[in-house]
Amino acid sequence: MSKIDLISTEFFKKKDIYKILEVAETMRILLKGSSRNAPHLTGKTVLLYFPVNDTKTKLEFQLASEFLSASVVDVTTHESQLKNYQSNYDMANLIEQMRGNVVVSSTAIAGSARHLSSKISASVINAGDGYNENPSQCFDTLFLIKRYKGDIENLKVCLIGDVLHSNVCKSYIFALNELGAKVSLSAPSTLLPVGFEALPVEIHYQPEEAIKDADAIICLPLLDDFDEYKSYLPSINEYKKGYKIDQELLEYAKDDAIVIVNGEPKRGIEVSSRVDIINQTLVGEMTNNCIAVKMALLYLLT
């Protein structure tokens, strides 16, 4: 039997995406119950390969695997070793010998999940590879939108923020288009890669135009290290004046629009303190949502 990978959302079909979201819904109900253990992955091994320090995603996958009764092995090497091309190559060999069923990989190298997949017989879930794609996070957000909006088809979803340094942005564009949603995008020109025009997405430099009549607004966060932006932006202050999601900007969107941020937003820079956001963090009910999606992915891939 050929293995199934989750590396990119580019060639995903509508029915597959909906299937993942449906299973995630079942998992969410399961998580609400008194016993959180389900036997779906008994006897299977999930390997976590997280050279990039993404504690939130790693924890979610770890919990998701354990709730599904899989054994979890952390095969993360230190990031500094990754710079040596040998260790990635050796890592693939090691993983192959461990004979895991699923490998969840999150690295700083674009294309690494694809490379890993070509070397091993286990399924690979891409939880972020450099600035390439991040389908696992994409499904978290899709699940949220579906829960709040019912149906994704014909919605208008607006992406605002740092497109250049966002891997999940491309996953959103592919998946949302497949589902029949309209995607618009707004970013400063220097944070927008050349060649994006060819993607099925509306591009506006002015966020007011992009956000017009939007049903959901997704904030693409800035990097933590503002020094990175020295050659891209004159100052964070100027960015904030143009691209902060605040009440004024949301006037242009639909009244019931939701704002989604992954992780803790930089309040006052990316999102105004007053705006209600649906925060995909490890707090409250949202935790369950993210874990449910990850359980669905693990279950469907094995």
Token pair for 298: 């693990």
Q: Is 109 in the site for another protein (CB under 8 A)?
A: yes
**Interacting residues with another protein between 125 and 184 (CB under 8 A):** 130-133, 167, 170
Specify the residue for token string 């008994």: 42
- Please tell me the distance from the alpha carbon of residue 251 to that of residue 124, in angstroms, as a whole number: 42
Residue 204 CB, nearest approach to another protein (Å):
17
Specify the residue for token string 């299973």: 23
Q: Is 6 in the site for another protein (CB under 8 A)?
A: no
End-to-end CA distance of the chain: 11
**Interacting residues with another protein between 66 and 105 (CB under 8 A):** 85-86, 88-89
Contact region for another protein (CB under 8 A) — 56-64, 124-132, 259-267, 293-301? 124-132
Residue 163 CB, nearest approach to another protein (Å):
9
Residue 74 CB, nearest approach to another protein (Å):
21
**Total of chain residues touching another protein, rule CB under 8 A:** 23
Residue 173 CB, nearest approach to another protein (Å):
9
Token pair for 233: 């932006």
For another protein, the closer CB: 233 or 296: 233
For residue 198, the Cα-to-chain-centroid distance in whole angstroms is 22
Instruction: State the helix-helix crossing angle for 168-178 and 14-32, rounded to 10 degrees.
Output: 110
Q: Is 199 in the site for another protein (CB under 8 A)?
A: yes
- Please tell me the distance from the alpha carbon of residue 284 to that of residue 293, in angstroms, as a whole number: 16
Q: Is 112 in the site for another protein (CB under 8 A)?
A: yes
Rg of the chain in Å (alpha carbons): 19
How distant, in Å, are the alpha carbons of 9, 59, 116, 234 from that of 265?
25, 19, 32, 21
Q: Is 232 in the site for another protein (CB under 8 A)?
A: no
Binding site for another protein (CB under 8 A): 10, 85-86, 88-89, 109-112, 114-115, 130-133, 167, 170, 193-196, 198-199
